């Protein structure tokens, strides 16, 4: 039995790295600083240790050879999931390059809301440590922040900051979704302002807020149940703050064309910066989302929804969606990669299916090949990107499970295909 401190997590997106973890053989227990997101993700037991072909346990080598044979004569395989570490993504992209596959991160429909806004007009964003040390006003749009990251307030807001005398005085404003608990109440009892509205009313509310920031006259008295006076007060606070931060979670904006809401927020942040400082802070990046987009970014030039079918990477944020390609008959095989989450199952399909995933994944329909892999940050070392994009965390190995890494498996499949193409 051993105990490890300062363990980093790839699960929560915020790159928590103060976990204390006890390792007893293969059993992992989070003994300090756990949360509802990280603790179960670390403690998930290993159940599968052997690869399977059509449900029958086989040696790893055999499973790899069979996976390669399934991919060998495909025209348009799809590699979905894409939830792994940096080396796993490197292997995944090499395999996609060799097989002419589509690469599609499973949460890309959410990331797309941010990426479309970025690619149309850009943004002014910030990172966690700047939020912690500078943020005097936090505007939370359409998300339950403590549900997203249970320790966010405790770790980043309600403790010491370099540039704020009393962090308890920070202004917290919720717009849209109300908080699920009271983590946003400061240690000295200051409570967050909450202006609730329905999720799908946010486009209207945010647009009016931006107009007010720009000093445009608004003739209505309320919008989606929120008074213009309240929105005017928020606009004034943004302009009066020294370092306001506006945060949102693309995944929580559950309506079509939510990218326009992200764009309005981002453009509003730019407007505020004409006179004072203000930054956007998109929440996301759980279980390898940011990692997938970053590695795909430097390898192909594009975020993680790319087709290699023509021999070079093509990006289309809509056409190359896994479910579309499976359902419309274009795809002819599925590779599902998820080293983090046993609940994130592959989509249902009649196509040949190879699953490279965390031990313990259960299937409604047994895939042709299932290769259980180690989890980055538990079974092997690696790297993952945090939600704020620029920070990569070093993942540690906690135990000897002998499970292969995603990279080892995907590289081995690619190697078989490469040798066959040379012969």
Partner 1 sequence: MLIKLTGGTVYDPASGVDGKQQDIYIQNGKIIDKPTGEFLVTKEYDLKGKVVMSGAIDMHTHIGGGKGNIARTLLPEDHRQDPVASNDVCRSGCGHAMPSSFVTGYRYAEMGYTAGFEPALLPINARQAHMEMGDIPILDKGGYVMLGSDDYLLRMLTAKKDQKAINDYVAWTMQSAKAIGVKVVNPGGINAFKFNQRKLDLDEQNSHYGVTPREILRVLATAVKEIGVSHPLHVHGCNLGVPGNIETTLDTIQGIGGLPMHLTHIQFHSYGTEGDFKFSSGAAYIAEAVNKHKNITIDVGQILFGQTVTASGDNMRQHANHKHASPNKWVTMDIECDAGCGVVPFKYKDKNFVNALQWAIGLETFLLVEDPWRIFLTTDHPNGAPFTSYPHLIRLLMDRTFRNDVLSTIHPEAQKMTTLASIEREYTLQEIAIMTRAGAAKLIGLQNRGGLSAGNWADITIYTDNVDRQKMFEKPDYVFKDGEVVVIDGKVVHTKWGTTHIVKPDYDKSIEKDLKIYFDKYLTMKVDNFRMSDDEITEDGRGSLTVHDLKAVA
Closest Cα partner for 124 from 263, 258, 270, 272?
Answer: 270
The residue within the footprint of partner 1, chosen from 69, 127, 168, 415 (CB under 8 A), is 127
211: part of which helix (H) or strand (E)?
Answer: helix 202-213
For residue 214, state whether it binds partner 1 (rule: CB under 8 A): no
CA angle 247, 297, 125 (to 5 degrees): 25
Q: Which string of DSSP letters, residue by residue, matches 157-204?
A: ISS--SS-S-GGG-EEEEEESPPSSSTTS-TT-PPPEEEE--GGGHHH
Q: Exposure of 25 by Cβ count < 10 A (0-12 exposed, 13-18 middle, 19+ buried)?
A: exposed
Size of the residue set binding partner 1 (CB under 8 A): 68
Contact 330, 112 (CB under 8 A): no
Contact 373, 382 (CB under 8 A): no
For residue 419, state whether it binds partner 1 (rule: CB under 8 A): no
What order do you get walking across the sheet with 19-24 strand by strand? 2-7, 19-24, 27-32
For residue 423, state whether it binds partner 1 (rule: CB under 8 A): no
* Other Cβ atoms closer than 10 A to 254: 12
String marking each residue 22-61 x if it binds partner 1 according to CB under 8 A = ----------------------------------------
Closer Cβ to partner 1, 155 or 237, answer by number: 155
Provide the minimum distance between the beta carbon of 385 and partner 1 in the complex, in angstroms, as a whole number.
8
For residue 365, state whether it binds partner 1 (rule: CB under 8 A): no
Closer Cβ to partner 1, 342 or 406, answer by number: 406
- In sign, the C-alpha dihedral spanning 45, 50, 54, 55 is negative
Q: Which residue has the tokens 């990251």?
A: 149
Provide the minimum distance between the beta carbon of 380 and partner 1 in the complex, in angstroms, as a whole number.
10
The residue within the footprint of partner 1, chosen from 11, 42, 302, 320 (CB under 8 A), is 302
Closest Cα partner for 253 from 143, 387, 389?
Answer: 143
The residue within the footprint of partner 1, chosen from 43, 62, 97, 324 (CB under 8 A), is 97
Considering only the stretches 7-15, 171-179, 228-236, 357-365, report the one whose residues sit in contact with partner 1 under the rule CB under 8 A. Answer: 7-15
3-state secondary structure 49-63: CCEEECCEEECHHHH
Contact 291, 385 (CB under 8 A): yes
Q: Which residue has the tokens 């005097």?
A: 136
Provide the minimum distance between the beta carbon of 127 and partner 1 in the complex, in angstroms, as a whole number.
5
Binders of partner 1 in range 155-184 (CB under 8 A): 155-156, 160-163
Q: In angstroms, rounded to a whole number, what is the distance separating the alpha carbons of residues 110 and 259?
A: 9
Question: 12 by DSSP, 3-state: which?
Answer: coil
Contact 95, 88 (CB under 8 A): no
For residue 113, state whether it binds partner 1 (rule: CB under 8 A): no
The residue within the footprint of partner 1, chosen from 56, 72, 242, 365 (CB under 8 A), is 242
Provide the minimum distance between the beta carbon of 352 and partner 1 in the complex, in angstroms, as a whole number.
23
Provide the minimum distance between the beta carbon of 289 and partner 1 in the complex, in angstroms, as a whole number.
14
For residue 15, state whether it binds partner 1 (rule: CB under 8 A): yes
The residue within the footprint of partner 1, chosen from 23, 228, 233, 381 (CB under 8 A), is 381
Provide the minimum distance between the beta carbon of 373 and partner 1 in the complex, in angstroms, as a whole number.
16
For residue 119, state whether it binds partner 1 (rule: CB under 8 A): yes
For residue 309, state whether it binds partner 1 (rule: CB under 8 A): no
For residue 154, state whether it binds partner 1 (rule: CB under 8 A): no
The residue within the footprint of partner 1, chosen from 41, 68, 94, 252 (CB under 8 A), is 94
- In sign, the C-alpha dihedral spanning 219, 222, 224, 229 is positive
Considering only the stretches 174-182, 217-225, 230-238, 298-306, report the one whose residues sit in contact with partner 1 under the rule CB under 8 A. Answer: 298-306
The residue within the footprint of partner 1, chosen from 133, 168, 199, 207 (CB under 8 A), is 133
- For partner 1, the binding residues (CB under 8 A) are 6, 8, 14-15, 17-18, 86-87, 90, 94, 97-98, 115, 118-130, 132-134, 155-156, 160-163, 242-243, 273, 276-277, 279, 293-295, 297-303, 308, 310-315, 381, 383, 385, 389-394, 407
């Amino acid at each position: 039995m051993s105990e490890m401190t300062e363990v980093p997590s790839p699960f929560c997106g915020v790159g928590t790295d103060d976990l204390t973890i006890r390792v007893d053989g293969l059993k992992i227990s989070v003994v300090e600083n756990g949360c509802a997101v990280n603790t179960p993700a670390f403690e998930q037991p290993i159940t599968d240790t052997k690869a399977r072909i059509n449900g029958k346990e086989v040696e790893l080598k055999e499973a790899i050879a069979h996976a390669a044979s399934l991919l060998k004569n495909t025209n348009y395989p799809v590699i979905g999931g894409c939830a792994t570490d940096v080396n796993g993504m490197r292997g995944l992209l090499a395999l996609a390059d060799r097989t002419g596959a589509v690469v599609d991160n499973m949460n890309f429909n959410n990331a797309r809301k941010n990426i479309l806004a970025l690619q149309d007009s850009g943004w002014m964003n910030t990172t966690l440590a700047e939020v912690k040390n500078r943020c005097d006003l936090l505007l939370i749009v359409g998300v339950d922040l403590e549900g997203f990251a249970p320790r966010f307030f405790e770790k980043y807001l309600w403790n010491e900051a370099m540039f704020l005398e009393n962090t308890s005085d920070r202004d917290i404003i919720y717009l849209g979704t109300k908080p699920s608990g009271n983590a946003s109440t400061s240690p000295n009892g200051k409570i967050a302002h909450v202006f609730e509205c329905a999720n799908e009313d946010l486009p209207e509310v945010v647009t009016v807020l931006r107009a007010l920031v720009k000093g445009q006259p608004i003739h209505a008295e309320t919008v989606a149940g929120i008074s213009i006076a309240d929105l005017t007060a928020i606009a004034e606070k943004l302009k009066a703050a020294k370092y306001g931060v506006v945060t949102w979670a693309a995944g929580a904006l559950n309506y079509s064309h939510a990218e326009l809401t992200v764009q309005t927020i981002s453009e509003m942040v730019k407007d505020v910066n004409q006179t004072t400082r203000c930054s956007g802070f998109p929440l996301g990046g759980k279980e390898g989302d940011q990692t997938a987009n970053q590695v795909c970014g430097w390898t192909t030039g594009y975020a993680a929804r790319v087709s290699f079918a023509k021999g070079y990477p093509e990006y289309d944020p809509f056409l190359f969606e896994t479910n579309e390609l499976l359902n419309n008959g274009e795809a002819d095989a599925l590779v599902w990669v998820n080293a983090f989450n046993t609940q994130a199952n592959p989509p249902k399909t009649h196509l040949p299916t190879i699953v490279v995933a965390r031990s313990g994944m259960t299937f409604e329909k047994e895939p042709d090949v299932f290769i259980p892999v180690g989890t980055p940050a538990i079974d092997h070392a690696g790297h993952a990107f945090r939600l704020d994009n620029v920070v990569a965390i070093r993942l540690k190995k906690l135990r000897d499970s002998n499970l292969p890494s995603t990279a080892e498996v995907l590289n081995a499949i690619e190697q078989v295909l490469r040798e066959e193409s040379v012969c």
